[in-house]
Chain A
Amino acid sequence: MTTLNGETTMSTETVSAPVPNFDDSGTERKLAIICSKGNLDMAYPGLVLANAALGEGVEVHLFFTFWGFDMITKKRMGNLKFTPLGNTATHMPQGLGGVPGMTAMATSMMKKQISEVGVPEVPEFLEQIVASGGHLWACQMSADMMHLDENDLYEAVEGIINASDFIEKTEGAQLLFI
């Protein structure tokens, strides 16, 4: 591959264009993301990063645990909420967060902002992640605590597994806890 620089272009002969290396094999990257939150705003970081990693050819495994279970529970995944309560980054008086209807209003505002930047809602985003080759796993302990089984979960979840299984499946992976 020829690299281009100021000096070489000074000559009358142009160099041949560099070819990007899209298949840097040898580095088989793997990413494990643990999603433990069920708030709308905390669902997105894991999904965005999973999607980005998949687009870079990285093998991605998501593990949904505790409140993160809402992200893959059929009844709840389309209805995650955002509350300004306890979140100083909204720069609103904290008392307002407790006003009835505030959660619904803040949620719909956030959903609108997310959709305006072309990012899908959680169920559709998970569908895209699975279509891109991502793996979804549900936490056994959370399922037991919440009395949920496969029938309650999003169809693309590959299985309900315990923490040891997940650690085993993600050997050598980089890990994110959200």
Chain B
Amino acid sequence: MPLATINGREVHVNDEGFLTEYGEWDEDLAKVLAAQIGVDLTDAHWMAIRFLREDYKERGETATIRRITTLGGIPTKELFELFPKKPAKKMAYIAGLPKPRGCV
């Protein structure tokens, strides 16, 4: 995986810019990633991001919108408001995780 810099820090990313090493992420980096895609992180955003991080740690797979809603307790409608247009991909990007693999 190629090494690149984000805000002066060296990290591993894929060719789209998604982080590929779980351990290289922290919340400061998330703020930079979010800003790069035009998302201003509020507490509500953090709830989703932190759920994704925890869930990935347990399962080794990025949660889908449905999983964030049913297990994380954040309504689907709210996720679309917080991360407009492509919520699943935007959340994964900010959380330093791969894009979700599941269809639903």
Contacts and interface: CB of A to CB of B under 8 A. Distances in A.
A131 B77 contact: yes
A18 B64 CA distance: 24
B4 interface: yes
Contacts of B64: 118
Nearest to B10: A14
B65 A18 contact: no
A145 interface: no
B48 interface: no
A14 B89 contact: no
Interface stretch (A50-58, A89-97, A162-170): A50-58
Contacts of A9: 2-3
Interface string A57-98: 100000000000000000000000000000000000000000
B86 A16 contact: no
24 contacts: A3-B15, A4-B13, A9-B3, A14-B4, A14-B10, A15-B5, A17-B17, A18-B13, A18-B16, A22-B37, A22-B86, A22-B89, A22-B90, A52-B103, A55-B86, A55-B89, A57-B86, A119-B103, A128-B65, A128-B76, A131-B76, A131-B77, A132-B76, A132-B80
Interface in A19-75: 19-20, 22-23, 48, 51-52, 55-57
A56 to B, nearest CB: 6
B69 A4 contact: no
Interface residues of B, number: 35
A18 B15 contact: yes
A23 B38 CA distance: 9
A120 interface: yes
A123 interface: no
A15 B66 contact: no
A14 B66 contact: no
A4 B15 CA distance: 7
A159 interface: no
A23 B85 contact: yes
Contact of B104 (A23, A57, A119): A119
Nearest to B4: A17
Contacts of B80: 131-133
